[in-house]
Amino acid sequence: MTRTLLGIAMLSLCITAQAQAQSTQKRIAPNSKVAIQKIRAQHVHDALLNQLVGNGQRLAASKTTSTVTDERLIAQSSYRFFDTSTTTPSPAVWISTDSSTYYYSGQHGSYYNYNGMTYVNYYQLYNSIFLGQGHIIGLRDKDNKPEILSDSSRFYSLISSDTLEYYETAHSTYDAADNFTKYVEDYPPFSYSSTFINTFGANGITSSLSIDNASTTMDTMEYRTLDYTGTHISADSTESKASGTWEHQGSFTYTYDASGKATRISQWVYDNTIAIPWYENARYDLEYYPGDQFKKMTVSYAPVSSPLTINEVDSFSWTTGVPYYTGISSTYYSSAGTPVSAYTQVKHVSATNQLPDSVYALQYDLTTPDTFFRALNVYTYDTYNKPTDDIAYTPHVGGTAYDSVTSHQHYYYQTYTRDATGVNTVAEHTTNISIYPNPANNQLYIAQINATAGNDIAAVKIFNITGQLVINKACSTTGGKAQVAISDLPQGTYMVVLQNATGTMLHTEKIVKL
């Protein structure tokens, strides 16, 4: 990973259309298996940020019915304007640079990510499962679940000309909890494919096996295992296969505070060519605001057998009542520990739908202050509050007005019917369960009487208006009632979901937090 990867990736969010930024990073055609793996590695910080700050997914829920009509993404296309003074082709034209289509079954849908301002359509979870980044095998983020739950996908890119060419097909297999149990990527132009086979336990993924096929040869390439202590990951290691021999590749260690939040995550790399083969290659120190919103991440890196040095510091800001971060400020450092460049991003939140209608970004060189780049992305939404257009503007050469359109991302949808909360639902109110007070301020009480066998309340989940899971805890009404602390939640409307020990929903109810 390069020093300025996060800044480049996040600035590209505003230089080009958002889904183009994420999509072309993966879809630009590789000419070898190594090139494919290098492209995958570019997503490290994107997945990390999504996992830490929460994805801000929208949840369309109904108070009077158990199902709702929603939209899911079926296609997206990226266009970029080529200026004849600096690029080809000639004359200047709009070129379609990337396109993808998605096919679904049942209630599977898609979830727009308001932190990264994109639909994430790549599969691997890079590095630490907890952080949402890491090795070349694993899961997507969104709480270790994908953001596009398609059964199959087709991708097109500019491979060898100015015309889109078919590039990749992906096929997904899910379990009842929508976890990926099998995922196959097929690259016909390069006679290459990858298969990922995952297993899951009560706390999440427990193993992931990567099988690659180059031409006609199938070979197991990586195997990753995860162990848990309670709900916390206690061991996370990966082995890789080279020349027919299994070797250690890397592992992660985790430090948690008393409330269960990770405060430090270290990545360890194995290199049997040095005296001490295990060395700490990267460290992530994490800080939080009261209420558990992500505040700051300090990233340190170390070359082989060298001490860790600060590489990057990312600070996040939030707006009351908004479930995604609305500002980020990043500083990047040289190997000597000197700040060399910075990145700032600010989201403007619409008062109409609480969604970002524009994003401003600025990246600049701290050693040469006059060297900078700024851009503005503007978003439009449909009646389902799904983004339809993402248009990137840059300033005119001779002034400050954003009058130059550089890229355009367009999203296409189909309507479908799904459960109101995205899981199996029952009638909103059941006669033996009550939630009070409503509205509530600091404490929420849950009472249950005369529960039938197997239908005792065992868990409470609380979602905000965008579908982000903000509280998830065990809950027992033994003795008649239980209480849940909600003092750290911002003011607003929430959906409370109560489940039994097997995960079956017993009760849903909207509440208002004062």
Q: Which CATH number covers residue 142? A: 2.40.128.720
pLDDT of 393 reads 84
- Over residues 463-476, mean pLDDT: 80
Same domain, 483 and 359: no
Range of the domain at 476: 432-513
User: CA separation (Å) from 261 to 206, 253, 314, 342?
Assistant: 20, 14, 18, 28
Residue 272 CA to residue 290 CA, distance in Å, equals 43
What's at 55, amino acid-wise? N
Higher pLDDT, 48 or 356: 356
Same domain, 241 and 126: yes
pLDDT of 452 reads 67
Q: Which of 417, 450, 481 is the last residue of a domain?
A: 417
Query: Does some domain include residue 27?
Result: no
Residue 460 CA to residue 451 CA, distance in Å, equals 16
Query: Does some domain include residue 285?
Result: yes
Higher pLDDT, 59 or 150: 150
- Over residues 377-400, mean pLDDT: 82
Query: Does some domain include residue 205?
Result: yes
Crossing angle, helix 33-41 and helix 18-27, to 10 degrees? 150
Checking if the pLDDT of 8 tops 70, the result is no
DSSP lists the bridge partners of residue 347 as: 359
- Whether 169 and 153 have beta carbons less than 8 Å apart is answered as yes
pLDDT of 185 reads 83
- Whether 46 and 52 have beta carbons less than 8 Å apart is answered as no
- Whether 345 and 9 have beta carbons less than 8 Å apart is answered as no
Residue 298, C-beta contacts closer than 8 angstroms, at least 6 positions apart: 284, 285, 310, 312, 313
Domains held by the chain: number: 2
pLDDT of 328 reads 92
Q: What is the pLDDT of residues 72-97, one digit of tens each?
A: 999 998 887 665 445 444 455 667 77
- Over residues 486-509, mean pLDDT: 81
Same domain, 90 and 236: yes
Same domain, 95 and 163: yes
Same domain, 111 and 80: yes
pLDDT of 168 reads 85
Residue with tokens 């992660």: 252
Query: Does some domain include residue 18?
Result: no
Same domain, 265 and 410: yes
Q: Which of 359, 385, 417 is the last residue of a domain?
A: 417
- For residue 394, the SS3 value is strand
Mean pLDDT rounded to a whole number for the chain: 73
Least confident of 245-249, 392-396, 413-417: 392-396
